[in-house]
Amino acid sequence: MASKLAEFAKQNGVQYFMVSFTDLFGGQRAKLVPASAIADMEEDGAGFAGFATYLDMTPAHPDMLAVPDPSSVIQLPWKKDVAWVAGNCVMEDEDVAQAPRNVLRKLIAEAADEGMHVKTGIEAEFFLLTPDGSEISDPFDTAAKPCYDQQAVMRRYDVVREICDYMLELGWGPYQNDHEDANGQFEMNWEFDDALKTADKHSFFKFMTKSVAEKHGFRATFMPKPVEGLTGNGCHAHISVWDAPGSASKTNVFATDKGEGQTGELGLSEKGKHFLGGIMKHASALAAITNPTVNSYKRINAPRTMSGATWAPNTVTWTGNNRTHMVRVPGPGRFELRLPDGAVNPYLLQSVIIAAGLDGVRSKADPGKRHDIDMYAEGHKIKGAPRLPLNMLDALREFDKDKGLKAAMGEEFSAAYLKLKHQEWNDFTSHFSQWEKDNTLDI
């Protein structure tokens, strides 16, 4: 078999490949492989000791192999002699069931069996900080309402433009960049794509943004709430389902019902509505995936920020074109899930959307009543809307209780994820904080 990656190296002058995989905590791990060795790696995979990463393995496990997927290869625009390629984790000739990219590939195949091809676009917000992460990198970026601040975005033009140029070069179709709602915060948007492609791009975007920021003497962070009192980093997902993958897709299944034109509230087809119903039904449990860190719960359920709004949901509600709910249906044929944050694992984000949505379609789930109110001002008027988990432990417990979602994500994955995340929670609770001292010393 001719090696696609060796050919890619020859044609593009690539000398090294980063064979990369993403672990359960969203960490990206890679081996740097010289182009002369890539043909063998493409067949057999690059070896890793799984225990050294967050995949719930022991030191006794055999070698885990990351087999590069040539369709994901990206030449680093800022370092042309290197190319990044996503690997699929394999152990003793079997896919590692809990590895996030495998979880997603399996769910994509299941959805395809039912004629559903999920496409998503994501909005991965980030902050530019000083290299030690202690301050916003721009000392003049202090406005109370800094969203779309043209002076502030231009002070970081060199970073933003460099990243956008690279996305143009890679053919991602970037179309806008802005200063976001928090001081030091930015958002860059590119075209939506098939779920696996979006997950690979999301991973690469994080790697690229951090790399370019470092080059300019800054530190980029996707941390959900890096600065107390300011709006946090969301990672909103825009979701639609199509009749075929890639460029073969012709019909948006969420927009039409078998050629009968748009149906349903706000242009969501019956299938779209049930898919949304699945997201609503599993929302409290899927927060364990979309909001995966201790810090995530400082973004949702947060008190009002300096700009006047958190832009993050507190309750499981949906609406039309209104950003104060967990789900917004901005127009025909798609909806926006505003729950995920910057810490979300790119592969698990897509996986949990498909898992919950598929269950919704299969069970004809009802998303419930649409609420067209300002949730920040009038949320108290809605009786009985479930609250999102208040912390990571509550979210893990909700996930553990949701047998349907756990099964859809895969039992091995769910067990491994819950085990490692509970360990992380225990580690957090054993941490001694100043707050305890301040509030308990004189008791």
Question: Taking the complex as a whole, how short is the minimal distance between the CB of residue 104 and Mg ion, in angstroms?
Answer: 24
Q: Rank residues 124 and 365 by Cβ distance to Mg ion and give the closer one.
A: 124
Cβ distance 395 to 389 under 8 Å? yes
Q: Rank residues 19 and 312 by Cβ distance to Mg ion and give the closer one.
A: 312
Closest CA to 395 of 201, 238, 224, 200: 224
Question: Taking the complex as a whole, how short is the minimal distance between the CB of residue 103 and Mg ion, in angstroms?
Answer: 27
Q: Rank residues 53 and 177 by Cβ distance to Mg ion and give the closer one.
A: 177
Question: Taking the complex as a whole, how short is the minimal distance between the CB of residue 177 and Mg ion, in angstroms?
Answer: 11
Question: Taking the complex as a whole, how short is the minimal distance between the CB of residue 196 and Mg ion, in angstroms?
Answer: 24
Question: Taking the complex as a whole, how short is the minimal distance between the CB of residue 2 and Mg ion, in angstroms?
Answer: 44
Do the strands 174-179 and 235-242 form a parallel or antiparallel pair, or are they unpaired?
A: unpaired
Q: Rank residues 24 and 122 by Cβ distance to Mg ion and give the closer one.
A: 122
Q: Rank residues 138 and 187 by Cβ distance to Mg ion and give the closer one.
A: 187
CA distance 282 to 274: 12
Q: What residue type is 127 in one-letter code?
A: F
CA distance 399 to 401: 5
Q: Rank residues 42 and 180 by Cβ distance to Mg ion and give the closer one.
A: 180
Q: Rank residues 179 and 421 by Cβ distance to Mg ion and give the closer one.
A: 179
Question: Taking the complex as a whole, how short is the minimal distance between the CB of residue 150 and Mg ion, in angstroms?
Answer: 17
Closest CA to 413 of 236, 277, 288: 288
Measured from each CB, the residue nearest to Mg ion is 187
Question: Taking the complex as a whole, how short is the minimal distance between the CB of residue 58 and Mg ion, in angstroms?
Answer: 41
Q: Rank residues 3 and 177 by Cβ distance to Mg ion and give the closer one.
A: 177
Question: Taking the complex as a whole, how short is the minimal distance between the CB of residue 234 and Mg ion, in angstroms?
Answer: 6
Instruction: Report the interface residues with Mg ion, using CB under 5 A.
Output: 187
Instruction: Give the tokens for residue 213.
Output: 């920021």
Q: Rank residues 237 and 361 by Cβ distance to Mg ion and give the closer one.
A: 237
Do the strands 318-319 and 46-48 form a parallel or antiparallel pair, or are they unpaired?
A: unpaired
Question: Taking the complex as a whole, how short is the minimal distance between the CB of residue 242 and Mg ion, in angstroms?
Answer: 25
